[in-house]
Structure 1
Amino acid sequence: MMMEQQTQITPAIELKNLSIHFGSGDDLVKAVNQVSFSVPAQRSFGLVGESGSGKSTILRALAGLNQHCGGEMFLDGQVLNNQRNKIFYKKVQMVFQDPYASLHPRHTIDKILAEPLAIHGLKDTEQRITRVMDQVSLPSKFRFRYPHQLSGGQRQRVAIARALILEPEILLLDEPTSALDVSIQAEILNLLNRLRDELSLTYVLVSHDLAVVSYMCEQVAVMQHGKLLELLEVDQYGETQAQHPYTVQLNLASKGYDREVISRFIDHD
């Protein structure tokens, strides 16, 4: 009897031996060093590690903001070249860490949300703005205010709304809650989880906090010094089975500051 061939499912995002170097000679910095992973469609994938580990550099490379890359990147099985077109940005959008820095201070929320629609030649502006503000639970009274008139959490809702207004399939999330108060962080994380379910989105989430990534993601890549140390599966209880000593330390650190535990930490080169 012939065995039935299993259908190969194309990942939404795939990296093969991605390398990103800055400088040359003695000043050469290997920001990302031979990193490979894949992200299935409608799943949430996390990149976690300390500052300088290369996680945000990977996200910027996926978004087309860093073009000095070796290796290969794929979107739905198609090779991503250095230049990104409108088709790419209609499908993939990015939410940045600081919502105040990423929003134009002299534009109203209405103009911020309308701008992507104008760039892509979409005409149903009124309906799209109304719908996306409702999706992120932002009251209509904020529509003609400026970013400085909103709280940090409200500004991040605007940033998420701007990313959603083109109806993308993939969101690249660069530390989307780290600039917010702890009480607001949970609101934004819950909002992102709800949106992923409602809109069937795929997430690539960058964070230095393993607890945040474990809450949001089904799979986690642990980064250090530009290298991928290990890939972790997140179980139904939000737990991971870390093997690498560095990941174990990250896991302990995510549970809160403990002087005795921190004093035993080792720098794993």
Structure 2
Amino acid sequence: MTNAAISVDKLNVSFGDSHVVKDLSFEVRRGESYGLVGESGSGKSTVLRVLSGLNRDWSGAIAIDGAAQPKVRDKAFHRHVQMVFQDPYGSLHPKKTVDDTLAEPMAIHGIRDAEARIGKVLSDVGLPASFRFRYPHQLSGGQRQRVAIARALVLEPSILLLDEPTSALDVSIQAEVLNLLAALRQERKLTYILVSHDLAVVGHMCERLLVMQFGRAVEEMAVETLAARQPRTAYAQQLLAASAGFRRAG
């Protein structure tokens, strides 16, 4: 596929005796939002850690915009691909101000217009400039996750890897952050991979999704198939039924 932003071919990952990702292959088109879904332990977050360069112990082939990726990525890769983690409490350094957090990646990459970029990226994620000199403990969970998104965007990447970006937040805040991410994708023409166990989130955010179980691909489908509740495989149907039941109960 010539317009693939991300291509994964026969990816395998093991931790000791545990084979957590098994012969996984998929492609994500440029500008697409692609979901990886499955129960806890299905291997979906491991895939993101491999794609981001955090996990270097894998076999198979990964290409970003057609370029094969080595296990150890260079600086240029990180300007292009950034990750937003699940836990906004754990991913921000408690002793660094928002300003420090946003300035650090730019210092690493030798970007000079830090001042202007910080102002713009805070505005883009809906935070006032006065937040620059606050510490994480002075922010709510939703505000922290906005800072984490700003940190990922400050290098102006083309791909964002989103690992359960709203699951640690209150339900009332989740929709705000998801809507922000959807708007940023349009404005910045970003490509997303979104990992989630919540099919409602994936239905809201993605065009296509891959259902994973025990490290394997079970079924790839368009989001319309999800909305029509018509997956082909029994496991995907089961996941959908469990997800709908969970939401009704909540």
TM-score (normalizing by structure 1): 0.89
* 1:153/1:188 contact within 8 Å kept: yes
CA distance 1:79–1:191, change in 2 (3 Å): same
Q: Does 1:246 align with 2:235?
A: yes
Does the aligned pair in 2 maintain the 1:171–1:201 contact within 8 Å? yes
- For 1:55-134, list aligned pairs within 5 A: 55-134=44-123
Structural mapping, 1:221-260, within 5 Å: 221-235=210-224, 238-239=227-228, 241-257=230-246
Q: Distance in 1 between matches of 2:124 and 2:204?
A: 21
CA displacement at 1:251 relative to structure 2: 1.1
Task: Please tell me whether the aligned partners of residues 166 and 174 of structure 2 are also in contact (alpha carbons under 8 angstroms).
Answer: yes
Q: 1:12 aligns to what?
A: 5
* SS of equivalent to 1:99: coil
Q: Secondary structure at the match of 1:13?
A: strand
Aligned residue type for 1:162? R
- Structure 1 residues 153 and 245, CA, compared in 2 at 3 Å: closer, same or farther? same
Shift of 1:238: 4.4
Per the TM alignment, residue 258 of structure 1 is displaced from its structure 2 partner at its CA by 8.3
SS at match of 1:118: helix
Instruction: Give the one of 133, 148, 168 matched to 2:157.
Output: 168
Q: Cα–Cα, structure 1 residues 258 and 135, in superposed 2: closer, same or farther, change >3 Å?
A: closer
Q: Provide the residue aligned with 1:198 in structure 2.
A: 187
3-state SS of paired residue (2:155): coil
For 1:203, the aligned partner's letter is Y
Cα offset for 1:70? Answer: 1.1
Task: Report the 3-state secondary structure (helix = DSSP H, G, I; strand = E; otherwise coil) of the residue aligned with 2:40.
Answer: coil
Q: 1:249 offset after TM fit, Å?
A: 1.7
Answer whether contact 2:31 2:192 (CA < 8 A) is retained. Answer: yes
Gaps of 5+ in 2: none
8 Å CA contact retained: 2:203, 2:226: no
The amino acid that maps onto 2:2 is I
* Aligned residues of 1:233 and 1:240 also touching (Cα < 8 A): no
**Matched residue type, 2:59:** G
Q: Deviations over 1:51-80 (max 9, x none)?
A: 100000000000011111111000111111
SS in 2 for 1:241: coil
Query: What is the alpha-carbon distance in structure 2 between the residues aligned to residue 143 and residue 239 of structure 1?
Result: 44
Q: State the secondary structure of the residue aligned to 1:94.
A: strand
Whole-angstrom distance in 2 between the partners of 1:111 and 1:258: 39
**Secondary structure of 2:156 counterpart:** coil
Q: Describe the superposition over 1:105-135 as per-residue Cα deviations: whole angstroms up to 9, x where unpaired.
A: 0000000000011000011111000000000
Shift of 1:140: 1.4
| Aligned 8 A contact 1:177 1:188 in 2 | yes
Deviation at residue 208 of structure 1 after TM alignment: 0.6
Q: Tell me the alpha carbon deviations over residues 133-192 of structure 1, each in whole angstroms, 9 at most, x when there is no partner.
A: 000001112110000100000000000000000000000000000000000000000000
Q: 1:235 is paired with a residue of what secondary structure?
A: helix
Q: How many residues align?
A: 249
* C-alpha contact (below 8 Å) 2:229/2:237 kept by paired residues: no
- Runs (5+) with no aligned partner, structure 1: 1-7, 262-269
Match of 1:47 in 2: 36
One of 21, 35, 40 as aligned partner of 2:14: 21
SS at 1:231 equivalent: strand
Q: Shift of the alpha carbon at 1:236?
A: 9.5
1:80-106 per-position Cα deviation (integer Å, ceiling 9, x unaligned): 101111100000000000011000000
Taking structure 2 as the reference length, the TM-score comes to 0.96
How well do the aligned residues superpose, as a CA RMSD in angstroms? 1.7
CA–CA separation in structure 1 for the residues paired with 2:54 and 2:82:
12
Aligned amino acid, residue 206 of structure 1: V
Task: Give the structure with higher Rg (CA).
Answer: 1
The Cα of 1:20 is off from its aligned counterpart by 0.5
